[in-house]
Amino acid sequence: MNVTILDDYLDIVRTLPCFAGLAGHRVTVHTTPAAGIDELAERLRDTEALLLFRERTRIPGALVARLPRLRLISLVGPVPHVDLAACAEHGVTVCSRVVTERPSYATAELTWGLLLAAWRRIPQEMAYLRAGGWQSPHATGRQLHGRMLGILGFGRIGALVAGCGRAFGMQVRVWGRSGSLERAAAQGFEVAASESELFTGSDVVSVHLALTPQTQGAVRREHLALMRPEALFVNTSRAGLVAPGALLEALQAGRPGAAAVDVFDEEPVLGARDPLLALPNVVATPHLGYVTREGLDAMFATMIDQIGAFERGAPIHVVSA
């Protein structure tokens, strides 16, 4: 089959152990995003099986209609970026495994890396040191022990982050859906009286919600305005969970005092064009949460298995056919 992999920014898939599973296929890897639907259609004109790098590229119906050779889209995770109705109409099978039995340890680990970097101003102090200084005027840090960590969304990743907070000696307070709050309470974590209390009383608020139509823009300007001037807001989930422009406005207004983010409204962010990157009180990474060799190998191994099953006439993890 003609197999295409989109958006492999680091050109890493070819180096993973699982790539051997594509032996015998004609594989094309694109490492840069397409400029628009016309360029994307040209890239995919001979593609029979398409492997998607999570949600980096949208697959609208208008594109599917221009790809008569496309037979399979293979990916992992939710598929809000793929027009499933159009795929069904044009005979394209979509296979995606949603992993429910294990959390993304990599994302939880990066959350704490960003949190610690922002709380202790590690990137700023590194820059000051490299510029010839020694302990900037803002170098006096604050410890996390005894502080309040607010977790918005107590799913698999939120629970991991909460457990790390407990290990650091932080008080941990949780807000989310009723079922998740019951699990949090059962694990000995404090449940906030309300969403507003979570933002008002926390020194750090970390967001761990899935992005759905119901959670789109769930964190609004008025929530962030409740945070203390010295508080930190962390988002390693999805930028769409925060209302457009709300975080930028809140940081400029001084509540919260800082942010640590791994996600942006439009990705990839090239040329430092996102205004958050111009703020000195923001620590940011380029959506690295799940980008580890172990995680990517497991992810693409699943997608390659889905191709094999499709070729055998017994597709697995089918979400549209």
3-state SS assignment for residue 148: strand
pLDDT at site 193: 96
CATH architecture of 105-284: 3-Layer(aba) Sandwich (3.40)
Residues in the chain predicted with pLDDT less than 70, given as ranges, are 100-101
Contacts for 137-146 with beta carbons within 8 Å, 24 or more apart?
A: 142/230, 144/116, 144/119, 144/168, 144/169, 144/170, 144/203, 144/204, 145/169, 145/170, 146/170, 146/171
Contact 41, 63 (CB under 8 A): yes
| DSSP letter, residue 12 | -
**CA distances to 9, 35, 67, 172 from 40, in Å:** 16, 8, 10, 45
Residue at token pair 């020194």? 203
Nearest partner of 167 among 101, 109, 107, 103, judged by Cα: 109
Active site residues: 238, 267, 287
Q: Which one-letter amino acid corresponds to residue 22?
A: L
pLDDT at site 101: 64
* One fold for 2-101+292-320 and 105-284: yes
Percentage of the chain lying above the pLDDT 90 cut: 94
Domain topology for 2-101+292-320 = Rossmann fold (3.40.50)
Nearest partner of 144 among 161, 109, 126, 120, judged by Cα: 120
pLDDT at site 321: 73
| DSSP letter, residue 198 | H
**CA distances to 109, 196, 205 from 283, in Å:** 15, 25, 15
3-state SS assignment for residue 229: coil
Model pLDDT for residues 191-231, shown as the tens digit of each residue:
999 999 999 999 999 999 999 889 999 999 999 999 999 99
| The CA-based dihedral angle spanning residues 277, 282, 283, 284, taken in that order and rounded to the nearest 10 degrees | -40
Nearest partner of 304 among 65, 125, 49, judged by Cα: 49
Tokens matching residue 281: 């009180």
Residue burial 84-100, b: 16+ Cβ < 10 Å; e: rest: bebbeebebbbbbbeee
For the chain, domain boundaries: 2-101+292-320, 105-284
**Residue 201 neighbours by CB under 8 Å, 6+ apart:** 148, 150, 173, 192
Contact 188, 162 (CB under 8 A): no
Residue burial 26-42, b: 16+ Cβ < 10 Å; e: rest: ebebbeebbeeeeebbe
CA 38 to CA 41: how far, in whole Å?
Answer: 5
DSSP characters over 79-95: -TTB-HHHHHHTT-EEE
